[in-house]
Chains A and B, each alone.
Chain A
Amino acid sequence: MSWTLTAADLPDLARGATLLGTGGGGDPTIGSLLVRQALGDRSLTILDPDELADDLVVIPTAQMGAPTVMLEKIPAGTEPTLALRTLEAHLGRVAQATMPIECGGINSMIPLLVAAETGLPVVDADGMGRAFPELSMETFAVYGVHGSPLALAGERGETVVIDTGDDDRQMEWLARGVTIRLGGVAHIAEYAMSGAQVRATAVPRTLSMALALGRAIRLARHAKRSPFEAIAQTLSTTLYPHVRELFAGKVTDVQRRTRDGFAKGWAQISPPDGVGQALEVEFQNENLVARLGTDVLAVVPDLICVVDAESAEPITTERLRYGQRVRVLGISTPELMRTPAALAAFGPAAFGLDVPFVPVETRVVGAPAAVG
């Protein structure tokens, strides 16, 4: 069912989107401030994917780059709509709706900013079902819609169109180079598709899921109930039904580098009493793999989320800091993200990890792993 979103929903959506950002995706707080400024007291129309006309023209919008850059270099605000207009001009088609390519992190918000500026509705779906570091890591691409042509825009009003035919990896590579030249962050429009193609290739209702998660965490805290139980309960009726607690402890080391346009590194989380093995979480913008010694507890595309040990507030990799008390959650991804074709695009091997994909719910079972 279609629904409307107002500025009052933004804090809950931001919290849920941070959780789905699985450590990356960029902090949506800045994104929600951008939307709040642009939206004022108006509301946005969010379209259910099942209700889209087959021939509806949908042009997703997003931001790409390193999340650490976004904490400092806030956009001018005009970039994402400029990217959309540039792609429309290149395609000779006019968008009738926009959509996230990524429901985790700040990219849950960028289409809302475009919608607030243009009056377009937003489709309640995305192509990652979480956050991923590369533009080619999309269920859209896995199931037959190509990202190219893509339009980028920078804060000085620069625009670039990249057309690589059906080669999404080349599109990602060229766009990444332009993004670095633009200062590490660019705004983009890509994966133009029809309403029918959205239904065939997108992960459905991820915006509403992010909103429901953020709201459940807030309400649980308010009612003094466990926010971890609230997360598990909210997800139990979605395409992401399994939640496991992988580890609980204290952040004892974080290493990160901005390299090749990504924030890469790892975090070490030690047991609360300091005795025993530490969990190591490796990330490339998003958390990729959680290892206890040589044991892999969870790996992409399943979600690895570091959250505050008590409040369950999700913590992004750029805000991870020595001394924080955290829990690490593993969340199962929908089946359409675990097919051989999907794993080829964004499974462990796509990140150069020499480990097989094993669903988190089969790797970690029973006590003490189950949350709540």
Chain B
Amino acid sequence: MHIGIDVGGTNTDAVLMSGTTVLAGVKRSTSPDVTSGIVDAIQALADQHAFAPGQISAVMIGTTHFINALVEARRLAPTAALRLGLPATRALPPLVDWPDRLREAISARSYLAHGGYEFDGRPISPLDPDELRAHAADMAAHGIRSVAISAVFSPVNHDLEEQAAAIVGEVLGPDVAISLSHEIGRIGLLERESATIINAALRELAREIVDGLTAAVRARGITAPIFLSQNDGTLMDEEYVRRYPVATFASGPTNSMRGAAATSGYATCAVVDVGGTTSDIGLLVGGFPRETTTEVTVAGIRTNFRMPDVLSIGIGGGSVVDTQTAEVGPTSVGYRLTTEALVFGGSTLTATDIAVAAGRAQIGDPSLVAHLDPAFVQRVLDRIAERVAQAVDRMRTSPEPIAVVAVGGGSILLPDELPGLGPVVRPENYAVANAIGASIAQVGGEVDKVLAIAPGRRTETLDEVRQEAIDKAVAAGAVPSSVQVVEFDEVPIPYLPGDATRVRVKAVGDLQMGQVPA
């Protein structure tokens, strides 16, 4: 048996799975400290379907904490961005295209220093240790607690990033985390650098969250390995999350779409995931989330992450309803739903209260919303249906009919039929689809190596590398027939002889159930 947990901003969902069978599924409020919500959820699973801690072979967790922290611009560490590239790159310093709000939220300091490489591996200019020490001293004076270091052409040669990290680290001491751009991103300085700065700003929160998640699971006596979902639906261990929290960024939508596919049986459909604060709309094509093909903007920052193409609108179960206009959201009571919503004895009219008043859900005390005017309730529900339908329409790529699958606890807000789109499919276990998505993990095999490609041998050489990645995924526990190459990247290294090329391949497949990823 294994456990899947999805920690959202409002709810913590958990499922107990045996292979692909759902043995138990529960939904609990996310606690401000994260931990107690998970402890509650695991206890509730045990109440529904008894299990001994030793029977659990793995715990898979998806969390939106990191992306929420960025979107809400809170709980971010004071962060410095240090770029090695002078005298080049001066025209566009680090953070140049960041929104002011986020720059302020991370108390951002931006530094330019000498260093970096030309495309062919020649240094642009030598590192200047005194310059770096002076920058580091300034960071310390400004209370910087996390540093992102980028260097021009570090994907080709990362020596200078590492040397600079050593020098800066000496001045700042071991308590300041350092993130290096070549470990985070690919060619494309500004996007790689921004992703690295985001990662740096999340490092403290990552420590807190991972400690909290681990403590919560261990508190139940479960000693099985804990994994977190990455953007591409594969798993990473807790140690990796502490270093690279940015890699979990888009796991929420990925899990919800994969969960919707698994529970509904539709391989091609629009997925509407109604949570506590937002509705996220994405497209599933042939079983895989449709990804953005061009740049991805996260909280107003351009990055080069691979992410599912998702449209978020501010409608969820915790959304505050305006008693005058009948408009819903974007403000949400979030995890305070169980104290602030009318049905729980609170004083805020939320979308959940509307659903209960309309008889669509049995939550809290229905008598507390009995006074609501039925005409007003209907107006609110019509408005929700209209806005969700518009959003689905924006996401679909042709006027042809497409199945709409609704998941997430808030999907009780949706009607049985959406205007212009037809019936809404509500799979069994729809409320915990994200947790199911997290639990039907994928495992990956990655190869990253520098190869000399002999003339006329490119196709064979690259095929060999692809096969190596596929073999690694299978060895890690993937069902062989499900393995696909999802990423392939070839960076020529012109300063090395013999057409040297850095090749990175990632293959992923479904985890063979009953097996634990290696």
Q: Which residues of B contact A259 (CB under 8 A)?
A: 494
- If A33-B97, A66-B119, A69-B119 touch, does A76 touch B487 (CB 8 Å cutoff)? no
In the complex, residue of chain A having the shortest beta-carbon distance to the beta carbon of B295: A29
A335 at the interface (CB under 8 A from B): no
**Cα distance A51–B89 when bound, in Å?**
37
- Is A74 a contact of B89 with CB atoms below 8 Å? yes
**Cα distance A324–B96 when bound, in Å?**
28
- Is A72 a contact of B188 with CB atoms below 8 Å? yes
A119 at the interface (CB under 8 A from B): no
- Is A325 a contact of B293 with CB atoms below 8 Å? yes
Q: Which residues of A contact B393 (CB under 8 A)?
A: 224
- Is A315 a contact of B293 with CB atoms below 8 Å? yes
Within 8 A of A (CB), among B174-205: 187-190
- The 8 Å CB contact of B88, one of A75, A257, A323, A324, is A75
Stretch among A124-132, A191-199, A290-298, A305-313 lining the B interface:
A305-313
- Is A72 a contact of B153 with CB atoms below 8 Å? yes
B425 at the interface (CB under 8 A from A): no
B294 at the interface (CB under 8 A from A): yes
**Cα distance A321–B66 when bound, in Å?**
27
**Cα distance A68–B120 when bound, in Å?**
12
Within 8 A of B (CB), among A306-339: 308-311, 313, 315, 318-319, 321-326
- If A73-B88, A74-B91, A322-B487 touch, does A258 touch B294 (CB 8 Å cutoff)? no
- Is A37 a contact of B294 with CB atoms below 8 Å? no
B490 at the interface (CB under 8 A from A): yes
- If A183-B124, A324-B293 touch, does A75 touch B89 (CB 8 Å cutoff)? yes
B169 at the interface (CB under 8 A from A): no
In the complex, residue of chain A having the shortest beta-carbon distance to the beta carbon of B492: A257
**Cα distance A33–B146 when bound, in Å?**
27
- Is B96 a contact of A33 with CB atoms below 8 Å? yes
- Is B487 a contact of A313 with CB atoms below 8 Å? no
Write the nearest CB–CB distance from A249 to chain B, whole angstroms.
13
B137 at the interface (CB under 8 A from A): no
- The 8 Å CB contact of B294, one of A156, A257, A315, is A315
Q: Which residues of B contact A309 (CB under 8 A)?
A: 293
Q: Which residues of B contact A73 (CB under 8 A)?
A: 85, 88-89, 116, 118-119, 124, 152-153, 189
- Is B487 a contact of A33 with CB atoms below 8 Å? no
A71 at the interface (CB under 8 A from B): yes
Within 8 A of B (CB), among A254-282: 254-259
Within 8 A of A (CB), among B424-462: 458
**Cα distance A324–B88 when bound, in Å?**
32
- The 8 Å CB contact of B187, one of A34, A37, A72, is A72
**Cα distance A324–B488 when bound, in Å?**
12
**Cα distance A323–B484 when bound, in Å?**
11
- Is B119 a contact of A68 with CB atoms below 8 Å? yes
- Is A74 a contact of B88 with CB atoms below 8 Å? yes
A147 at the interface (CB under 8 A from B): no
Write the nearest CB–CB distance from A76 to chain B, whole angstroms.
4
Write the nearest CB–CB distance from A262 to chain B, whole angstroms.
12
- Is A313 a contact of B294 with CB atoms below 8 Å? yes
B397 at the interface (CB under 8 A from A): yes
- If A33-B96, A183-B122 touch, does A77 touch B293 (CB 8 Å cutoff)? no
Write the nearest CB–CB distance from B286 to chain A, whole angstroms.
10
- Is A257 a contact of B494 with CB atoms below 8 Å? yes
- Is B119 a contact of A76 with CB atoms below 8 Å? no
Total interface residues on B, using CB and 8 Å? 39
Q: Which residues of A contact B346 (CB under 8 A)?
A: none
- Is B92 a contact of A33 with CB atoms below 8 Å? yes
In the complex, residue of chain A having the shortest beta-carbon distance to the beta carbon of B487: A322
- Is B492 a contact of A76 with CB atoms below 8 Å? no
In the complex, residue of chain A having the shortest beta-carbon distance to the beta carbon of B288: A323
Write the nearest CB–CB distance from A291 to chain B, whole angstroms.
18
Within 8 A of B (CB), among A107-162: 155-157
- Is B92 a contact of A37 with CB atoms below 8 Å? yes
- The 8 Å CB contact of B488, one of A156, A308, A322, A326, is A322
Q: Which residues of B contact A33 (CB under 8 A)?
A: 92, 96-97, 190
A16 at the interface (CB under 8 A from B): no
Q: Mark A55-82, 1 if CB is under 8 A from B, else 0.
A: 0000000000010110111111110000
Total interface residues on A, using CB and 8 Å? 42
- The 8 Å CB contact of A34, one of B92, B119, B492, is B92
**Cα distance A282–B295 when bound, in Å?**
24
Q: Which residues of A contact B116 (CB under 8 A)?
A: 73
In the complex, residue of chain A having the shortest beta-carbon distance to the beta carbon of B453: A255
Within 8 A of B (CB), among A21-57: 29-30, 33-34, 37
In the complex, residue of chain B having the shortest beta-carbon distance to the beta carbon of A155: B88
Q: Which residues of B contact A318 (CB under 8 A)?
A: 187
A301 at the interface (CB under 8 A from B): no
A100 at the interface (CB under 8 A from B): no
- Is B122 a contact of A76 with CB atoms below 8 Å? no
Within 8 A of A (CB), among B86-132: 87-92, 96-97, 116, 118-120, 122, 124
- Is A72 a contact of B487 with CB atoms below 8 Å? no
In the complex, residue of chain A having the shortest beta-carbon distance to the beta carbon of B116: A73
- If A71-B187, A254-B490 touch, does A76 touch B88 (CB 8 Å cutoff)? yes
- The 8 Å CB contact of B91, one of A77, A256, A310, is A77
In the complex, residue of chain A having the shortest beta-carbon distance to the beta carbon of B485: A322
**Cα distance A310–B394 when bound, in Å?**
12
In the complex, residue of chain A having the shortest beta-carbon distance to the beta carbon of B156: A72
Write the nearest CB–CB distance from B323 to chain A, whole angstroms.
32
**Cα distance A288–B189 when bound, in Å?**
27
**Cα distance A338–B152 when bound, in Å?**
40
- Is A77 a contact of B90 with CB atoms below 8 Å? yes
B372 at the interface (CB under 8 A from A): no
Q: Mark A72-110, 1 if CB is under 8 A from B, else 0.
A: 111111100000000000000000000000000000000
A184 at the interface (CB under 8 A from B): yes
**Cα distance A220–B65 when bound, in Å?**
35
B134 at the interface (CB under 8 A from A): no
Write the nearest CB–CB distance from A185 to chain B, whole angstroms.
9
Q: Which of B92, B119, B487 has the most CB of A within 10 A?
A: B119
Write the nearest CB–CB distance from B362 to chain A, whole angstroms.
38
**Cα distance A110–B413 when bound, in Å?**
52
Write the nearest CB–CB distance from A243 to chain B, whole angstroms.
20
In the complex, residue of chain A having the shortest beta-carbon distance to the beta carbon of B88: A155
Write the nearest CB–CB distance from B189 to chain A, whole angstroms.
5
Q: Which residues of B contact A315 (CB under 8 A)?
A: 293-294
Q: Which residues of B contact A256 (CB under 8 A)?
A: 490, 492
Closest 5 CB pairs of A and B: A77-B91, A183-B118, A74-B89, A322-B488, A76-B90
Residues of B at the A interface (CB closer than 8 Å) are 85, 87-92, 96-97, 116, 118-120, 122, 124, 152-153, 187-190, 291, 293-295, 302, 393-394, 397, 458, 485-490, 492, 494, 499
Seed contacts A33-B92, A72-B188; 13 additional CB < 8 Å A-B pairs = A33-B190, A72-B189, A73-B85, A74-B85, A74-B190, A75-B91, A155-B87, A183-B122, A183-B124, A184-B118, A308-B293, A322-B485, A322-B489
19 contacts between A and B (CB under 8 A): A33-B92, A37-B96, A72-B189, A73-B89, A73-B116, A73-B189, A74-B85, A74-B88, A74-B89, A74-B91, A76-B90, A155-B88, A157-B87, A183-B122, A255-B458, A309-B293, A310-B397, A322-B489, A324-B293
